[in-house]
Structures are given as structure tokens and as C-alpha cells.
Structure 1
């Protein structure tokens, strides 16, 4: 019995996970609703030994309903990038996926971090990455170890980010077979920075993440950095899209007649505000008020019910003071909203950087008529848990704003975002 339990755990740990996978599944669900077709039933994919990144790509594209589309959004995992795809009526696909690091999950180490622990995780990550890289020559692996933030499940403090360096075959086939002639491809790219330690070709180690609200210097003692290998160097963050993938996508898309545009943002809050402004303009151009705002957080989002109900979405990546402060500044500079509904996802732990409930209440208080923080989220916050489908249950209760607006064109959406690109940290290419 013990052997069977450990084997099941191994399979779970090798299953692709992370925000990008959750958003891809939500994209398929949203498109099924929009098109009035059943959701594809995809249980998984066969695997043995190292993870097959090509099989993961096939599994991700299989989440999307059959038919042809007027475009594609691909790139860094971001809730507002998914909302952008929903407004366009097109799919969203990730440029990477995550895998929990088995050794670190099993250790269940307590809080805090020492140089010895960091080195052990880096070595374990390098060993695991070696197997992935040997089986998948077109990927790179970033080992992320955050001894402060344990993820929404509070069970894993380390994970590997597997990034595609070339467009996987399943993505190529999908573009060739499912995109209408001339349909544009939009790449959303998080260009935030972090310190990493280099390793063998294709591998890098990252200590800490912005999920905790801390900075790279808060994690890494440069005096002990040599223990981890090479000195830490400024690099892109774990949410970034590899430039080699962008260039490969550009070449492939051009050969098939699809223009490629890019949306670059330095911090997730910037894209959240820009897409929220885009939604309001879209709704008002369709004779809607655009005065009902929903503030989502983490995995608590549902793009279909946002579009169905005619809501304006603003997404916070993590429940941090900095994220709530950015949302408050954006609201302060916006025309007032009559209704503001807030869905803060409990982080599962309390940190000095975690936003207290009172700050979420302050966001809701920007409403001129009705502002509320979801009761279930408030009861669980900050150390409890709320399942992701809770957002669907809550937003499903919003009345439909009929008739549904026709999808935005990619050109008009990018023009609208370009008008807001004077905001520090947002660039449209």
C-alpha cells in the first residue's frame, strides 16, 4: 500500500500545474460557453519517466473547443490577458507550465531558509531539470524556490517552470488548422526582473518570487551566493516568455500569414488596469454603462461570466498590500463605479506584505452605491482556502447583460491599449 501511495504522489507531482494551466482550462470553458458547445473532455495524457512537453502542449490545445478562430492570445500567465482573449472571443494559451519539485514537497521544511537548504534545492532542481532537458531539447527550466511563499495549497515551496524555446508541434498544428486566414496572434509578455543563478545550459535557479511581496535582495545573501554556483545575475522573472519562442512564433506565423503583435508589461498591475479600461470602453461603445467592477485575485476569476454579465474585470495576481494599493490608485484615477465586488483569494498564510481584509474593504468602498467583499473569501482570509470555482458560483448570480456584445477586433483592442501605453510599464509592439 505504501508503494502505491508514493507512486500516485509521483504522478501528481509530474502533472503540469500553475496559473498558466488553470487559465488555459478557464479559456476552454469560456469559449465553450461563448460558442454554445460542450466542453472538450480531456482527462490527461500518458507519460513515463520525464515529462513530455509536447504531450503537455497537446493536452493544453485539447482544452479548446473545435472550430476556427479569429485570433489567439499566448504568453505569460495573467488573468487580464485571459480577459483580453475573452473580449476578442479567442483562445488563450501559456508559453510555459509548472511542475512541483518532488524532493522539496516531501521534505515539508519549515519556514525560513539557510544557504545549505538553498543549495540543496538548487542541486535537486538541477538534477530534475537534467531529465526534463534530456527528453525535451526545445525547452528551458527555471527552478524556483520560495521558502516564504508555499503556493495556494501551502504544500510546495519549490517548482520548476518549463518554458518552450520553440513553438511546440501541437501549437503549430493548431495555428495552421484552426486560425482563420490573416488572424492575428497577440503575445502578452511579463518583462519583470529577478536575480537568478546560472547552471548547465538550459537551467537556472531562482531564490524567491514576487508572490511574497519581497524583493530579490530580501532573499539572496550575495556573500553566500557562491555556494549556489555562479554569482547571481539580473534576469527575467519566472513569468516571462522566452525571446527564442517569440522569434520562432514570429517566423512561423509570418509563413502562414498571421501578424504577431506584442503587449509588454513591467508589472501585472499595469496590464490589469489597462484591460479594465478597455472593457469599460468596449461596454460603453455597446450602449452599456460599464459601471460594475469585479476585482478578482489569483485563481478566483471567470472570464465567461464577466463577459456575460457586462462587468469590468480588474485582476490582482496575489493578495499583497502592493497589489491592493495599485488597485486603489487605479480606482482613484478612474471615473467612479457604482458597484465594486471584490473576490480576494486567501493566501493560506500571513505575511507582513499580505493585504489585510480592511484594505480589501477599502477597495470595495470606492463604489458609489454597492461595494462588497465576498463573505466566504472574507471568512477564510488570510489562512483559510477558497476553491477556484467559487468565483464562478458568485459571478453566475450576476444578471445577464443581453444581448451579448460582438467580440472586439484585435486591432481596436490594441489601439485602445496603445492609447493607455503612456502608463509607465506598458508597451504595445
Structure 2
């Protein structure tokens, strides 16, 4: 999810962007604090074109997906690790990595395309294809998905359209991390969002697809493609069923299998069709982990979007439940999970404002209803509540809130990957979570 700050004139000069980037930074920060070492300071790559009213980006000359991978790995502290979690961007996957004491890395990143959003809907596809040609020419190991969602992201040209650049093979920086910084036999866990969406492939550009809309608005593909009065253009490509924008490229999974096998690392996979399923399973895992360490496990923090902090969750002995979008359906699923769980004595809720009201957006009263499940203490964060749903809250606000929670010392020993995956299998077997 974007914030209004990203609509500033020079923000589109910086990349990578998107949820995956924010989660990778949070993962690196959590590992640094747990190890008691300074956080790495790695400057983000920027477009090399000059700033100014007439400055134009040239992806072919500036976009280097390998440099993005090096920047992402650069967020990690020095030293060796007992494993690696990578895959679709999901806050619960980052919490899983924190419980295992290992890094989390994305397999894709987003590229803001505000120029495409400024065009009308019919021009967004061809404009995205022109951008994709330059990106693909300079980076043969990636695919490009242009996403245009005038419903969810319509309040800002920089947020309405963006390109998802996905690796088809492991980038060199990830290979070096696996070969040089993982301990012998350390497992690799791939989290995969296997949800579906309609996309339009480009006949003349291999590796490029166009996606109208997305799940963020709480709508379905027919809501975008079959609106009353919308007639397909003559000769236009018909949308096809495809992987969602959060999916992991299957070629990368196979490449990872081969490379990991050659270096003696087993590969496990976690597949889910709905993000809420993984959130509930990881929350159950945390509660079991805390109670095995003689902790109560009775304080829940509900995070959303980029409002999360895996380090302070571990430090304070909290149970985390992460919501991807502030939708009615998401809050309803969370409420059912709470209803079926042993009651929590305290619940803190951090609802990230979506930036504008929609019929599918959960009203603040529903978030307050979630907090009301607590038996003693319940709170919806006042700053989030004050600006919800049309305002904006910086991502570091979650850190500011959770750093005030008391320490829960001593720190628990990290979970073993096999034991954690067994627990996830038991918790999610009836809810659409598959562990391979």
C-alpha cells in the first residue's frame, strides 16, 4: 500500500518500492537488534536522470534488477544464518522468519509508474508495455506485470499504477547469500501466494502482462472487466486467468530447488490462497512458542499493511496477527479467528488508513469491535483512528507504538524450522494452507 508521501514529485525517482521492500527492511532491522549489532546503512538505488520538470526516466539505462537484489541483501546484518525465508510479501512470513531467527527476502519489487496512471484506462496497457520492453531488454531474468487499479489507488497518480518486477531465476546476490552465509543444511522456506487474477498478455512482448485492478479494493476480476456499459475494444486481447501480482514465479522456485540442492539446503514451501490464513496460523504458532517458554501469550497486536515491527513483537513477547488490507472481509476473518481462539487479555490494533473511503473498506467501528474481544485491555491506536480512513500514517509509527511495550526477558530460543512448519500444517490444514 502506498502513502500520499509517495506522490511527491521526486519519489518516483527512487526504487525499489512496495510492500516487499518495507518488509525486507523490517526483517533486517529485527535481525540487527536481536544480534545487538548496528543496522546496515545501504543507500537505495535511484534513477540516474537529472531532476526537474522535463526530467524523464530511462529504465533501459538505469534499472538494474541485480542492484536491487544487492540492496535488499544489504539490509541484513553481518554473520551467518540458520536458514532463509523468501517469497510473496506477507507480514506473517516476516514474523515467521523472526521466530526462526533468519532473514526474509522478497522475490519481486514494485516500480511506480505515475505516467501510466495519468493516462486513461485504455492507454495504460500500451504505456505499460513500452516501459516493460526497456526493463526486459536490460534484465532478461525478470518478468513485468503492469498493474492499473483506478478504484483502490485513484487518489494519487503515483499510487494508481505500478509495475511488479519478478525474478525468474535467483539473482546473484541471493545465490551468494545461500552459498556463503547459510550454515550447512540450513533450510530455505518459500512462502507462495497462489491466488488468481485476470491479466492481459502482450502478444509482442514476452514476459509482460497487464492487470486491471487487484484484490486491494475488495473487488473481483469481473467487477473490473465486466462493468455495465464497458465494451471490449475490437481486436483487443481477452483477459486470461493468471497468477496474482503477489505470486512467486515458478521458474524461480525450480531454480532455487536446483541451487539449494547443489549446496545441501532443503527447500520447503508454504502455499496459501488467502493471506488471512497464513496470518492466523503464524499467530497460533507464536502463542504456542510463547507458552512453551513459560509466557502467557495473551497479548495480541493486530498489524496492517506496513504498520508492523517484527523486532518489537519478539522483544515484548506479543502474538502478531497481520492484515494485508483494511477491508471488511479481512476484519471479518480476523473476528472469526478471534472468536475461535482462547481469549486474549490485551489487544492492540494498528489499522493502516487506506487513503480513501470505499464501500469495501472496514469502518473504524469494526476495528474497535476487534479490540473488544480482549478481556482486560483493548485499544485501537489513537493516531490511526484519528485519520482513518482518508489520512496517512508513516510506516515507522508501529515502531513508535510498540517500543513502549515492556520487555519480556529473557528472549526465547529460536524455533526449529521443521517444528514450526509442522505446527503451521496442523493449524492451517482446514483453512487452505498447504505446507510442502
- TM bucket normalised to smaller: over 0.9
Deviation at 1:301, TM superposition (A): 0.3
Q: Which residue of 2 aligns with 1:5?
A: none
Q: Which residue of 1 aligns with 2:188?
A: 185
Normalised to the residue count of structure 2, the TM-score between the two structures is 0.92
Q: Distance in 1 between matches of 2:159 and 2:235?
A: 21
Label 1:413 to 1:228 Cα distance change in 2 as closer, same or farther (>3 A).
farther
Moved more, 11-20 or 93-102: 11-20
Moved more, 333-342 or 214-223: 214-223
Query: 2:113–2:158: 8 Å Cα contact kept in structure 1?
Result: no
Kindly provide the CA deviation profile for residues 257-276 of structure 1, in whole angstroms up to 9, marking residues without a partner as x. 00000000001000000000
Query: 2:279–2:321: 8 Å Cα contact kept in structure 1?
Result: yes
Q: Which residue of 1 aligns with 2:3?
A: none
Normalised to the residue count of structure 1, the TM-score between the two structures is 0.93
The answer on 1:250 being equivalent to 2:272 is: no
In the TM superposition, 1:2-401 aligns within 5 A as 9=9, 12-13=12-13, 15-45=15-45, 48=48, 49-50=58-59, 51-105=63-117, 107=118, 117-150=120-153, 155-199=158-202, 200-221=205-226, 224-226=231-233, 229-401=236-408
Q: Distance in 2 between matches of 1:409 and 1:54?
A: 31
Moved more, 288-297 or 43-52: 43-52
The total of aligned residue pairs comes to 413
Unaligned runs of 5+ in 1: 1-7, 110-116
Kindly provide the CA deviation profile for residues 103-133 of structure 1, in whole angstroms up to 9, marking residues without a partner as x. 135x2x7xxxxxxx32200011000000000
Q: Distance in 1 between matches of 2:354 and 2:89?
A: 18
Label 1:228 to 1:161 Cα distance change in 2 as closer, same or farther (>3 A).
farther
Deviation at 1:45, TM superposition (A): 3.1
Q: Distance in 2 between matches of 1:18 and 1:333?
A: 33
Q: Which residue of 2 aligns with 1:3?
A: none
Deviation at 1:420, TM superposition (A): 1.6
Deviation at 1:149, TM superposition (A): 1.2
- SS of the residue corresponding to residue 300 of structure 2 reads strand
Deviation at 1:153, TM superposition (A): 6.8
Deviation at 1:165, TM superposition (A): 0.2
Label 1:154 to 1:363 Cα distance change in 2 as closer, same or farther (>3 A).
farther
Deviation at 1:211, TM superposition (A): 0.6
- SS of the residue corresponding to residue 98 of structure 1 reads strand
Q: Distance in 2 between matches of 1:90 and 1:287?
A: 23
- SS of the residue corresponding to residue 165 of structure 2 reads strand
Query: 1:74–1:93: 8 Å Cα contact kept in structure 2?
Result: yes
Q: Distance in 1 between matches of 2:219 and 2:314?
A: 34
Say what the alpha-carbon RMSD is for the aligned residues.
1.7
